[in-house]
Amino acid sequence: MKAWNRPEIPTLPGLSAVPCLYDTSTRGLVEAHTGDTARLYVCGITPYDATHMGHAATYLAYDTLQRVWLDAGLEVHFAQNVTDIDDPLLERAAETGVDWQELAESQVELFRRDMEALSILPPEDYVAVTEVLDEIAEAVRRLLVAGVAYEVPTPESSAGSDIYFDSAATDGVWTLGKISNLDPAAMEELFRERGGDPDREGKRDILDPLLWRAARDGEPSWASSVGAGRPGWHIECSVIALMELGRDFTVQGGGSDLIFPHHEMSAGHAAALSGHPLARVYSHTGMVAYQGEKMSKSLGNLVLVSRLRSAGVDARAIRLTLLAHHYRSDWEWSDEALETAEDRLSTWSARLSGDADLGTASSRETLAAIRESLRIDLDTPKALAVVDSAVAIGVDDPALLRRAVSALLGVDL
Ligand code: 5CA
Ligand code: ZN
């Protein structure tokens, strides 16, 4: 599927070092490095209610990571999915009387425009689940043959069997809890909350996730090597990531709401398919809240990028609002935070413009300090503070700092 246009990234003198990122699995900072090409998978949207500030904050975190990798002289290979077939999407389409495919297409288009406005780097591979149904079914078939998947008869006699992953049947590379470090009670609660079906009869374990849902009347389905049906959620991302990036890629990213069961199970499926870990680093962003609760489609407390833009808000100010919070912290969107970012944007623009007065702060040293802030777990609030201080004094080379702000923070002044 086509992604969106790529923003220009100016080159900078010197190189930054390879960044360290917090890894959810090992609960510590890890150098995000696997050779000359950094390979990144970030879970994409389920296309309805796009693009809210939580989505934008998550994609911006991995945009920043890519900018640091590029500045470190690495090649970057970035892949992202679109979950364009899933229960919540079908439910929303049914509620609003819109065809689910039209809903998905129009929301993906809106998402593309928002990403482009925010200067987010596009994925090299932007893959809709409906584009790779054969590959997903084939992976499910291989899991069945390998004995790590099993059939559960459907309640409806007309349908075939649903297929589940046996989460206890893998060993070595991945065991349940390897990514999330959660205890069984916490896993059960999150599984129930986030699309799992712990009460489904016939499963070997309540936490076993669905790999393939047999066709039901009134639901979209596709003929496949494992019978007519549609894929479960986690196997989609395992298959797309393995297809595009190969096993043991550098970073698997997404919001912290995906740690369990989604990233836990995606890693499990991939380990069962390839015999290797899915990724080196499992990285997660904090949740953006609004009006006291996590910004989410189900609660409807959404601040949309497109709505702010059509109200005349500068996309660069949105970007600076998001960058002012560390990607791993949970925080709440507010009008005041946006106003602070708008003030910062106008100060930086005035003080770094072509005819700004020269000052005594070294642009080279400021660039080095920005690089160092980002190198250690993408500390963007610190990087903004570094620029604020330099701008307050006045810099000796405004053009260089402008290039640095554009390349590393994605804000063109
Ligand atoms: N399609 C799946 C992933 S395969 C999905 O979670 N889609 S989503 O549209 O619900 O979310 C898209 C991305 O935004 C995910 O990485 C998710 O973790 C992140 N996200 C969703 N809500 C928030 C929020 N309030 N704050 C931060 N990130 C969020
Ligand atoms: Zn995913």
Q: Which residue range is the domain that position 160 belongs to? A: 20-289
Q: Does residue 281 fall inside a structural domain?
A: yes
Is 317 a domain residue? no
For 221, the token pair is 């389905």
106 falls within a domain: yes
Among protein residues, the one with the nearest Cα to ligand 1's atom 18 is: 255
Asked if residue 158 belongs to a domain, the reply is: yes
Ligand that lies nearest to the alpha carbon of residue 285, given by its number in the listed order:
1
CB 50 within 8 A of CB 60: no
Nearest CA to ligand 1 atom 14: 55
Residue 27 maps to a domain: yes
Residue nearest to atom 8 of ligand 1 (CA): 45
- Residue position matching structure tokens 């096993």: 247
Q: Which atom of ligand 1 is nearest to the CA of 81?
A: 4
CA nearest to 224, candidates 209, 237, 243, 211: 211
From 43, 295, 325, mutation site for ligand 1 pocket: most ligand atoms within 8 A of C-beta: 43
* Nearest ligand (C-alpha, residue 83): 1
Pocket of ligand 1 (CB under 6 A): 43-46, 54-55, 57-58, 81, 83, 237, 254-255, 257-258, 285, 287-288, 294-296
pLDDT in the model for residue 120: 98
- Please spell the DSSP secondary structure of 316-381, one letter per residue: HHHHHHHHTS-TTS-EE--HHHHHHHHHHHHHHHHHTSTTPPP-SB-HHHHHHHHHHHHHBT--HH
d(CA 47, CA 173): 33
* 34 token code pair: 């696997």
Pocket test for ligand 1, best of 40, 52, 58 (most atoms within 8 A of CB): 58
Ligand 1 centroid – CA 366 distance (Å): 34
Q: What string of pLDDT tens digits covers the 413 residues of the chain?
A: 999 999 999 999 999 999 999 999 999 999 999 999 999 999 999 999 999 999 999 999 999 999 999 999 999 999 999 999 988 899 999 999 999 999 999 999 999 999 999 999 999 999 999 999 999 999 999 999 999 999 999 987 667 899 999 999 987 899 999 999 999 999 999 999 999 999 999 999 999 999 999 999 889 999 999 999 999 999 999 999 999 999 999 999 999 999 999 999 999 999 999 999 999 999 999 999 999 999 988 888 999 999 999 999 999 999 999 999 999 999 999 999 999 999 999 999 999 988 888 999 999 999 999 999 999 999 999 999 999 999 999 999 999 999 999 999 999 99
The verdict on residue 303 lying in a domain is no
Ligand nearest to the CA of 53: 1
Identify the CA nearest to 391 among candidates 344, 343, 351, 340: 351
Residue 399 is predicted with a pLDDT of 96
Pick the atom of ligand 1 nearest to 86's CA.
1
Give the number of the atom of ligand 1 that is nearest the alpha carbon of residue 295: 25
Q: Whose CA is nearest to atom 28 of ligand 1?
A: 54
What is residue 299's predicted lDDT score, i.e. its pLDDT?
A: 86
pLDDT for 404 equals 98
If one counts the domains in the chain, the total is: 1
Flag whether 56 is in a domain.
yes
The domain that holds 275 is classified in CATH as 3.40.50.620
pLDDT for 157 equals 62
The whole-model pTM stands at 0.97
Q: Is residue 395 part of a domain?
A: no
Q: What is the pLDDT of residue 76?
A: 98
Q: How far is the CA of 217 from the centre of ligand 2 (A)?
A: 26
Q: What is the pLDDT of residue 350?
A: 95
- The whole-angstrom separation of Cα 346 and Cα 316 is 10
Give the position, in ligand 1's atom list, of the atom nearest the Cα of 286: 27
Q: How far is CA 359 from CA 350, 352, 362, 395, in A?
A: 13, 11, 8, 4
Q: What spacing in Å lies between the alpha carbon of 292 and ligand 1's midpoint?
A: 18
